[in-house]
Structure 1
Amino acid sequence: MAANLTGKTALIAHGAAGLGAHVAFGLAALGANVAVSHAGQTSAAALLERRIAALGARLHVFEIDTARPGYADRLVAEVQETQGGLDIVVADATVLATPSHPQGVVPLRPADTSAAVSIARAAAPALARRGRLILVGSLLHDTEAAGASAMPALDRLARELAKAVASRDATVNLVAAGPMDVDLTEGLRADAHAALAHQCFPRLGRVEEIVAPILFLATPAASYITGATLRADGGRL
């Protein structure tokens, strides 16, 4: 079933690069008016602008300083003021592939989780009726200290905010993402597969396999799903 998000405004926090950029492109392809925030990723934001322009759409870019107190509230207010409302928010707490990590994906860092939480808390009261707030966290390092503490915290936050926005028929959900096949060399990919033998699907997820459930949760088809954690992890056991 093809979704149509024409007339909806979406904000993808930290969405100029990595998974967020793929989500932004996917939402734009569904007709949404898309805004992304970034902290110094000017070149990546410009590239994403060109990709979305090729769809015949315009990307709205907001540069933020996460070191300044209150940045999340200011971002949400600015998007509301300039775009006329806020229907969909994606708060991404994952970190995608880098060549410096032996498994191709760096651990979830507390700072990244904190930024996503700040955006989610600021956005929840601003969501339009029947709005969508989607948190995205990483399961790759859920046995390590940062990841092990982050995922339960994101799950609790999703359930807490789901209750808070329910009176507006808005939903809040969490996508728990497994490791993604993004920007890996063949050598790094081989190392990653060796570490993924305990999954039902012993392979890295394609980025579109992580984007798809995020896009689904942003659509009207997901109107009865809230406070839930959707695992897109290849059957991590």
Structure 2
Amino acid sequence: MDVNLKGRRALVTGSSSGLGEAIARLLAAEGADVVVHGRDEARTRKVAEEVGAVAVAIGDLTTDEGADAVAATAGETDILVNNAGAYDHIGWTDATADTWVRTYEVNVVSGVRMIQRLVPGMRGRGWGRVIQIGGGLASQPIAMQPHYNASLAARHNLAVSLARELKDTGVTSNVVAPGAILVDAVERLLTGIAPDHGWGESWEEIERNAARDFVPNDIGRFGRPEEIAGAVAYLASPYADYISGATIRVDGGTIRSVN
């Protein structure tokens, strides 16, 4: 299906690996002029070449200088996908106040920096898309990773506020909320701990049992990066002109809600 992205310029932050790479790859395949962003120049350039990106943006978005450099490379951006972020597996005892501040800076303020730099141009041109990559933990947090849960909630909240701000401008603001997604690091983790949990030996057994124990959902598996990219491509397209301030959950039904 052609989602009519040809000629649209898209910046995907944190697209040198994982979800961001999958999003950049699909947007490029759908005809968008994609700018791949990362902090590791060699890895970012490699991904950019593989996906057919039109530009490579290198910069640390937790600094104004880094954000300025990325925005300058991105230029007149039609689609901003705020994907860059980080998480760790620590709980309340180990997550210090400094950890909370750093997580907010990386996962929230970095995206705000790019919004402030790129959305005014979208408003001026009368069309644009801002898409935050959020997550189910924003609305149904767990005991672990409280600082990360809270940062996801902030991403969801700012997306709705931005949608209200952009009323009648032709620019929309939405969230794609992934569930547990099978990126390379997750597959390595699950395979490594499978013997301790008795999940079996074949990958099919491991995935099914790990999904049952860790992320119970209605599909019985982990999501794939391409499935997140598909939701982003839809929201980035003209087919989503009437959607703003919304969250699309791509989580196999992990989060249960009537809304």
Distance in structure 1 (CA, Å) of the matches to 2:20 and 2:211: 24
Q: Distance in 2 between matches of 1:64 and 1:93?
A: 11
Is 1:46 aligned to residue 45 of structure 2? yes
Corresponding residue number in structure 2 for 1:104: none
Equivalent position SS for 2:80: strand
Note if 1:135 corresponds to 2:107: no
Post-superposition Cα deviations, 1:148-194, rounded to whole Å, max 9, x if no partner, equal 31232112111111122233211110111111111113345737424
Aligned residues of 1:94 and 1:137 also touching (Cα < 8 A) = no
TM-score, structure 1 normalization: 0.81
Largest Rg, 1 or 2:
2
After the TM superposition, which residues 59-98 of structure 1 pair with which residues of structure 2 at under 5 Å, given as runs? 59-80=54-75, 85-93=76-84, 95=86
Aligned residues: 220
Give RMSD over aligned pairs. 2.7
Whether the 8 Å CA contact 1:13–1:119 is kept in 2: the answer is no
Q: Are 1:196 and 1:203, in contact at CA under 8 Å, matched by a contact in 2?
A: no
Which one has the bigger helix percentage? Answer: 2
Name the structure 2 match of 1:28: 28
Residue 216 (structure 2) aligned to one of 178, 198, 204: 198
1:120 counterpart residue number: 115
Query: Could you give the per-residue CA deviations for residues 92-121 of structure 1, whole angstroms, max 9, x where no partner exists?
Result: 14559xxx97xxxxxx94343132333234
Gaps of 5+ in 1: 102-107
Letter in 1 for 2:227: E
**Structure 2: how far apart are the matches of 1:73 and 1:160?**
23
Displaced runs of 4+ in structure 1, greater than 6 A?
Answer: none
Cα shift at 1:78: 3.8
- The CA distance in 2 between the partners of 1:197 and 1:73, in whole Å, is 38
1:94–1:138 contact (8 Å) kept in structure 2: no
In percent, how many aligned pairs have the same letter? Answer: 31
CA deviations over 1:2-53 (Å, ceiling 9, x no partner): 21211111111121222111111111111111112211x2232122133124
In 1: Cα distance, 2:241 partner to 2:54 partner: 26
Q: Structure 1 counterpart of 2:71, which letter?
A: V
Structure 1 residues 140 and 7: alpha-carbon distance in aligned structure 2, compared to 1, 3 A threshold:
same
Q: Does the CA contact (< 8 Å) of 2:71 and 2:118 recur in 1?
A: yes
CA distance in 2, matches of 1:70, 1:192: 42
Q: Distance in 1 between matches of 2:84 and 2:246?
A: 16
Cα distance, 1:145–1:129 mapped onto 2, change above 3 Å? same
Counterparts of 1:235 and 1:94 in 2: how far apart (Å)?
23
Letter in 2 for 1:177: P
**Which region of structure 1 is more displaced relative to structure 2, 211-220 or 197-206?**
197-206
Structure 1: distance between partners of 2:72 and 2:215: 45
Equivalent residue number for residue 243 of structure 2: 225
Which stretch has the larger CA shift, 22-31 or 144-153?
144-153
TM-score normalised by structure 2 residue count: 0.75
State the one-letter code of the partner of 2:6.
T
